[in-house]
Amino acid sequence: MRTFFIAAMLGAALLRPASAEDSSQAVVVELFTSQGCSSCPPADAFLGELAARPDLVALSLHVDYWDYIGWKDPFASPETTLRQRAYARTVGRRMVYTPQMVIDGEHDAVGSDRSAVLRLIDAARRDKIPVTLTRTAGGGWEVMLPDSAMALPEPATVWLAFFDKEQVTPVKRGENAGATISNFNVVRQLRALGTWDGRAARFALDSAGSAGCAIIVQEGQTGRVLGAAIMTAAPDGS
């Protein structure tokens, strides 16, 4: 059993993991969006609905290529833009666009096209490796991946995403000038914990900070999602 440690010093809020039943088939939905894009608010609102579903890991990732329009998205990063560009190659797109929802690392749809997104979510439902998040005796969190006979074309990346459950922003310039935009499960940091080659592995989180975190295991770096789990802040603080 290999052990990987990461210190995530983003706060000390208590978190509640998705249930084991949810984790075994959880579908990952990644919305690539920008507060500078006038077409994005309906998709942002839809992502909020999806984020409330216990069977999904729904995340909002803000790209930076709309910043030149006049409003610099406070949650945008070049790393997110690079991730979206990598997905473009995966799903066979010649260019990136917003709002885009990528489903389980394999398919995409316009983020405001509810019927298309829901259809892709249903099609992505399949058994995945269980991603177990548990409390340790010392009060920290531990992520465990199983021993599996799954044939992997290459080692899978284990991603850790820290996110804010909701951010409300008055937009003063750009295409959405004058609007107040609500974004949900806003990814503030995405990093690779390491790789998984099918053998049992353990990832220990010294602190599970901020408002929530998600674990995504996927082929390569932006390939098919093999397993996922999410932890969000407990409303009662327990």
Spatial separation of the C-alpha atoms in residues 33 and 63, rounded to whole Å: 6
Question: What is the model's pLDDT at position 232?
Answer: 79
pLDDT over 90 (residue 79)? yes
Burial tier of 43 (Cβ tally within 10 Å: 0-12, 13-18, 19+)? buried
- The rounded distance, in Å, linking the Cα atoms of 225 and 238 is 30
Output the average pLDDT for the chain.
86
Q: Using CA atoms, how far apart are residues 137 and 145, in angstroms rounded to an integer?
A: 19
Assign residue 157 a region: left if phi > 0, alpha if psi is -120 to 50, beta otherwise?
Answer: beta
String of DSSP letters for 143-208: EEE-------SSPEEEEEEEEEEEEEEE--SSTTTT-EEEEEEEEEEEEEEEEE-SS-EEEEES--
* DSSP H or E stretch at residue 84: helix 78-91
Helix (H, G, I), strand (E, B) or coil at 150: coil
Report yes or no: 200 and 61 within 8 Å, Cβ to Cβ.
no
* Element of type H or E holding 229: strand 225-233
**Separation CA 64–CA 75 (nearest Å):** 9
Q: How far is CA 144 from CA 25, 147, 158, in A?
A: 16, 10, 11
Taken in order of first residue, the domains within the chain and their CATH numbers are 2-233 (3.40.30.10)
Least confident of 96-100, 175-179, 183-187, 196-200: 196-200
pLDDT band of 1, cuts 50, 70, 90: very low
> Which tens digit of pLDDT belongs to each residue from 198-231?
999 998 775 545 568 899 999 999 999 999 999 8
- Provide the residue type at 225 as one letter: V
